[in-house]
Chain A
């Protein structure tokens, strides 16, 4: 049941909204929980057990942490300063043990189900190279739906409880709903317990604005996915599946169109998902903020898949860079080398961890690791050269935030991103290498305009539709970048204009959507992680 399918949009979501509002307030969260488990069951029945295991694990761990903390609070009253210090140390170790074991368990499940095939294959190859007989069995494992997403949410929850940000919740249903909420389960966004759990349990009735604005957001997401992303798909598939037969020009176009496709699809899906939640009165965290207006790769990753970046920042980056070990190292570096390096070293090390995680989170393969390292190296270079750039800019009296230079920075960032996306989409690391070498050895620039591009799965009209769609999205994005809330702005217009806009958007999806005879249903790209 894909989020863009008729079955989800009309009967499923419609029924959930009706039932949710029809129930008395205190039972509304039951509707959400049931709906979420039914949704999970309809999509991936055999793996529901893993979601339940992780849910129970973090729930119990949380209760345990609460107990340890309560025990400490009780005992410390009777102790002197020295005694308190000792007890605090012991309690600290206990909590760390509980947290670590839980994380080991849930990440262990994720690691096994997701990475076992990749790891075992590589170990087998290694063993073969040194002529050892034993081979690890190649197991056929099904990846549970949303495991990459709900595991991070679960980990965030237990780490927050461990850090003392809030107490663990004694309500199993609340924890279960937080982890399984159906709009988030397939592709995120990755939320924190204190962001969504309260809202999910509150049982707020849907207002007229919730329903209409939510529906409009869903419509916008459908427009992006069906008119733009799905229309580009045949070309992207044709080019990347047969990359050895394409010229550099075609491959470049493939990279660009894939970047367009994945942005429109992922952000479109996020719109559908956020709109669905909004119809139920729930506000989910944003995952996109006009990423292609980013002036640097760092900026890009603050605007693309925001919740993943935020999760990695709060639970990997700061955990590593602010840890005691690194604090000591940084101090030494500051004294021995320079303050600049004193800050750079822990940051660079922490960033490395972040990008390894980001890479392998996306998938089990060398290509994904390379994807992470691609961005890491760009950012590291940026960090190292920053003082140099700053000095050049002042020497040349350049305003790096000024209009023309900003455009250059945006274009440069887009170029780097297209490169990264090409790696992401390529069949393998080797294929990416092949693509890059083709671009330099066989560019054939005439293929950009001699009609070759019109025979690779889509025709001229398709390109026009994609371009037109992108222009619409661009205009909306520019307005949003300036701070306008589109739905609010439109709601303030008179009824004729408002309805014209909504009807035009619906008709655009109906007429220009890439569905029906001749089109295969395109699976959600980020749903496979």
Chain B
């Protein structure tokens, strides 16, 4: 056999070195092309969800993640005013558990929440194999290799931004909540019809939630599974599935679609789009109820008297102006 200049070992070494150089270049480019601020103008995705970067370090005690149901239905300002708990909603439209995991990791880089609330209907979002691979990558290496998310910024890159460190200045008054005063009632039939059946949770979602559980344990964070009232994305089968899931992992699960009278929920006044998302009125009711639940079950600090948190009072005044109810 003739000796080729490409022996197995030299091929392997060449390939490994090539990939290392590629990885380093991608890391460098990720740093250069990432947005250096978290304002809307900076090009960051979902500025509302990423506003926690500019909150004072370690000031957020509750992190809420999930999809649009979470940012429509959870109101940090209501929670603040009635209970003094500091929270931030880092939810994104169609966020799946892998996305929640990635978001949590980002939150933990500058905040130390005591509790994470995960909105659960994102667990049932169907994703194909390619999306799962991308999501898995993003949840593990999405931060250092942010170039895959931000590569389109090549069009808007400003040279002075390229090499400087990120400095976050955005101020989100609502702490991630999306306000909507629109009222579009849902007046259809009852959707929480009791049954013994369960809907299968995609295995990839379960894996991602298990990783969230692990992350919380490692950081001494409590985890609460929560489902906002949502006629279009919830039903009893899903309730059973998540209840089983939570029980197996010894996690609390609060389903706000059941016994909605507990907090005077009214589908004719509390939804902005006919049964999918809540409006500001709905969010207030729901958050008041959640606050009571948290007070009973968790040991969270009431910061209302603390002068370091005076900005929250100002923000609440601004919030009141915007909700008009």
Q: Which residues of A contact B (CB under 8 A)?
A: 1, 5-7, 10-11, 208-209, 459, 461, 499, 502-503, 506-507, 510-513, 516-518
Chain B nearest CB: distance from A379 CB in Å?
42
- Chain B residues near A6 (CB, 8 Å)? 130, 133-134
B22 interface residue per 8 A CB criterion: yes
Choose one: A7, A507, A513; the contact of B129 (CB below 8 Å): A7
Q: Do A512 and B154 touch across chains, with their CB atoms under 8 A apart?
A: yes
Q: Is B212 positioned at the interface, with any CB of A under 8 Å from its CB?
A: no
A1 to B131, CA, bound (A): 11
B11 touches A503 (CB 8 A): no
Residues in A neighbouring B148, C-beta threshold 8 A: 510, 516
Kindly list chain B residues whose C-beta atoms are within 8 Å of the C-beta of A510. 26, 29, 147-148, 151
What secondary structure prevails in chain A residues at the interface with B? helix
Judged by a CB distance under 8 angstroms, whether B18 is at the interface is: yes
The answer to whether B149 has its CB under 8 Å from any CB of chain A is: yes
- Could you say which residues of chain A place their CB within 8 Å of the CB of B33? 511
User: How distant is A367 from chain B, measured CB to nearest CB, in Å?
Assistant: 32
Given contacts A459-B155, A511-B147, contact A506 B22 (CB under 8 A): yes
Residue of B nearest to A208 (CB): B6
Q: Does B25 contact A (CB under 8 A)?
A: yes
Having A10-B133, A208-B4, one finds 9 other A-B pairs with CB under 8 Å, namely A1-B130, A5-B130, A7-B129, A461-B155, A502-B18, A503-B22, A507-B25, A512-B154, A513-B151
User: Complex formed: what's the CA distance from A414 to B21 in Å?
Assistant: 41
Q: Is the interface of B mostly helix, strand, loop or mixed?
A: helix
Q: Give B46's nearest chain A residue, CB to CB.
A: A517
Give me 7 A-to-B residue pairs in the complex whose CB atoms sit less than 8 angstroms apart, sorted by A's number.
A7-B133, A208-B11, A503-B22, A503-B25, A507-B25, A510-B147, A511-B33
Does A7 contact B154, Cβ atoms closer than 8 Å? Answer: no
Cα distance, A283 to B152, chains bound together (Å): 36
Instruction: Given the known inter-chain contacts A208-B11, A517-B45, A517-B149, please indicate yes or no for A511 contacting B154, CB distance below 8 A.
Output: yes
A510 to B154, CA, bound (A): 11
Residues of B within 8 A of A209 (CB): 6
Mark B residues whose CB is within 8 Å of A.
4, 6, 11, 18, 21-22, 25-26, 29, 33, 45, 128-130, 133-134, 147-149, 151-152, 154-155
> Within the complex, which residue of B11, B130, B133, B151 is in contact with A511, where a contact is CB–CB below 8 Å?
B151
Given A510-B26, A511-B154 in contact, is the A503-B21 Cβ separation under 8 Å? yes
| Shortest Cβ gap from A516 to chain B (Å) | 6
Residues of chain A within 8 A of B18, CB atoms compared: 499, 502
For B128, the chain A residues whose CB sits under 8 A away are 7
Give the complex CA separation of A415 and B108 in angstroms. Answer: 58
A516/B154 contact (C-beta < 8 A), A1-B129, A6-B133, A503-B21 known: no
Task: Please report the C-alpha to C-alpha distance between residue A45 and residue B306 in the assembled complex, in whole angstroms.
Answer: 63
Roughly how many angstroms separate A5 CA and B131 CA in the complex, as a whole number? 10
Contact status B133-A516, CB under 8 Å = no
- The smallest beta-carbon distance between B16 and chain A, in angstroms, is 13
- Chain A residue nearest in CB terms to B149: A516
Whole-angstrom CA separation of A288 from B317 in the bound complex: 67
Instruction: Point out the residues of chain A lying under 8 angstroms from B152, CB to CB.
Output: 516-518
Report whether B6 and A516 are in contact in the complex, using a CB–CB cutoff of 8 Å. Answer: no
Q: Output the least CB separation between B161 and chain A (Å).
A: 16
A208 to B4, CA, bound (A): 10
CA distance A511 to B29 in the complex (A): 9
Closest to B132 in A: A7
Q: Which 9 A-B pairs have the closest CB atoms?
A: A461-B155, A208-B6, A7-B130, A7-B129, A5-B130, A511-B151, A208-B11, A6-B133, A6-B130
Q: Which of A5, A11, A507 contacts B29 (CB 8 A)?
A: A507
- The CA of A1 and the CA of B133, in the complex, are separated in Å by 13
* Distance (whole angstroms) from the CB of A36 to the closest CB of chain B: 18
Q: Smallest distance from the beta carbon of B251 to chain A beta carbons, Å?
A: 31
A78 CA / B155 CA spacing, docked (Å) = 82
Residues of chain A within 8 A of B129, CB atoms compared = 1, 7
Please name the residue on chain A nearest to B30 by beta carbon: A510
Complexed CA–CA distance, A264 and B311 (Å): 55
Residues on the B chain within 8 Å of A516, using CB: 148-149, 151-152
- Highest count of chain A CB atoms <10 Å: which of B6, B22, B151: B151
Q: How far is the CA of A7 from the CA of B129 in the complex (A)?
A: 7
Q: Which residues of A contact B130 (CB under 8 A)?
A: 1, 5-7
A11 to B148, CA, bound (A): 19
Report B233 CB to chain A, min CB distance, Å: 22
Q: Chain B nearest CB: distance from A488 CB in Å? A: 15
Q: Taking CB as reference atom, which chain B residue is nearest A10?
A: B133
CA A438 to CA B106, docked complex, whole Å? 53
Closest chain-B Cβ to A108's Cβ sits at a distance in Å of: 34
CB distance from A330 to the nearest CB of B (A): 55
Minimum CB–CB distance from B90 to chain A (whole Å) comes to 17
A507 to chain B, nearest CB (A): 6
Cβ distance B9 to chain A, nearest Cβ, rounded Å:
12
Q: Which residue of A lies closest to B6 (CB)?
A: A208
> Closest residue to B33 on the A side, CB-wise?
A511
With both beta carbons as reference points, the residue of chain B lying nearest to A209 in the complex is identified as B6
How far apart sit A11 and B6, CA to CA, in the bound complex (Å)?
25
Find chain A residues with CB under 8 A from B154 CB: 461, 511-512
Q: How far apart are the CA atoms of A503 and B21 in the complex, in Å?
A: 9
**Whole-angstrom distance between the Cβ of B153 and the nearest chain A Cβ:** 9
Nearest chain A CB to B13 CB, angstrom units: 12
Q: Which of A5, A6, A461, A511 has the most CB of B within 10 A?
A: A511
Shortest CB distance A9–B (Å): 10
CA distance A506 to B22 in the complex (A): 9
Q: How far does the Cβ of B308 sit from chain A's closest Cβ, in whole Å?
A: 36
Cα distance, A6 to B154, chains bound together (Å): 22
Inter-chain CA distance A506–B18, complex, in Å, is 12
Closest approach, in angstroms, between the C-beta of B44 and any C-beta of chain A? 11
Please, which residues of chain B bring their CB within 8 A of the CB of A507? 25-26, 29
Minimal Cβ-Cβ distance residue in B for A521: B130
> Complex: how many Å from CA A132 to CA B154?
62
Q: What residues of chain A lie closer than 8 Å to B6, measured between beta carbons? A: 208-209
Complex interface: chain A residues within 8 A of B45 (CB): 517
Please give the distance in Å from B140's CB to the nearest CB on chain A: 14
Min CB distance A186 to B, Å, is 16
In the complex, the answer to whether B21 meets A499 with C-beta atoms within 8 Å is: yes
Which residues of chain B are near A511, meaning CB under 8 Å? 29, 33, 147, 151, 154
Q: B53 to chain A: closest CB distance in Å? A: 19
User: With the chains together, A499 CA to B22 CA distance in Å?
Assistant: 10
Please measure, in the bound complex, the distance between the C-alpha atom of A503 and the C-alpha atom of B147, giving whole angstroms: 15
Q: Which interface residue of A5, A10, A518 has the most chain B CB atoms within 10 A? A: A5
Q: In the complex, A499 Cα to B21 Cα: how many Å?
A: 10
Q: How far is the CB of B214 from chain A (nearest CB, A)?
A: 24
Q: Nearest Cβ in chain A — how far from B319, in angstroms?
A: 29
Q: How far is the CA of A5 from the CA of B128 in the complex (A)?
A: 11
**Closest residue of chain B to A211, judged by CB?**
B11
The CA-CA distance from A7 to B128 in the complex, in Å, is 10
A512 contacts across to B, CB distance below 8 A: 151, 154
Query: Within 8 Å CB of A513, what residues of B?
Result: 151
Give chain B residues whose Cβ lies under 8 Å from the Cβ of A208: 4, 6, 11
Least CB distance, A324 to chain B, in whole angstroms: 54
B299 to chain A, nearest CB (A): 39
Name the CB-closest residue of A to B156.
A461
Specify which chain B residues have a CB less than 8 angstroms from the CB of A5 in the assembled complex. 130
Closest Cβ neighbor of B153 among chain A residues: A511
The complex places the Cα of A208 from the Cα of B11 at a distance, in Å, of 7
How many Å lie between the Cα of A461 and that of B128 in the bound state?
31
Q: Chain A contacts of B4 at CB under 8 A?
A: 208
* Across-interface contacts of B29 in A (CB, < 8 A): 507, 510-511
